[in-house]
Amino acid sequence: MNIEILSFTKRPIKPIDIMILYNDVGWWEERKEQEIEEMLNKVQSVGAWKDDALIGFARAVSDGKFRAYIEDVVIHSSFRKEGIGTKLVSTLLDELSYIDVISLFSEEQLIPFYEKNNFKNSKSQFVMHRKL
C-alpha cells in the first residue's frame, strides 16, 4: 500500500478532509469547516495520504520553543493497524525535535501505542480541564 506522510507545509490539508476523518471515528461533529481552517493555520500538522484521500491526521499545539502538545491523532477506520499512526506521530515528532517537552492526552486503551512511541505516563502530573 502506497501511503505518503507529509507535513501541512508540503501538502495542505483541506478542512473538509479532516471533517470526514472526524466523522468516521465519531469525533467533533459540532466543529465547523471554517473553525478547522483557522486551527490549521495555527498548528503544526501532518497528514497521511493514499492517493488523493486523507486517511490520517495529527497536529500539535506549541509555544514554538519549550512545550508542544500533540492532539487529534486520527486514522480512518479502514486503515487502522497498518502502522500509519506510528508514522504520523514519528513525522510530527521529527518536526517538533527542537521542543524540550512534548506531551499528549490519551485514552487508556491507547497508552500502549504511545508507550511504543517513547511516551511515558507521568504519575506526578494530573490532567485538569475547564470547560465553559
Residue 127 is predicted with a pLDDT of 78
Supply the DSSP symbol for 51. T
Residue 1 is predicted with a pLDDT of 63
At 11, the amino acid letter reads: R
Supply the DSSP symbol for 35. H
Question: What CATH number was assigned to the domain covering residues 4-116?
Answer: 3.40.630.30
Residue 65 is predicted with a pLDDT of 93
The H-assigned helical ranges of 8-131 are 15-25, 33-40, 84-95, 111-116
Structure confidence by residue, pLDDT tens digits, 4-40: 999 999 999 999 999 999 999 998 888 899 999 999 9
Residue 105 is predicted with a pLDDT of 86
Q: Which three cell numbers stand for residue 100?
A: 524540550
Which distant-in-sequence residues (6+ apart) come within 8 Å of 83 by Cβ? none
Q: Which residues of the chain are under the pLDDT cut of 70?
A: 1
The residue extents of the domains of the chain are 4-116
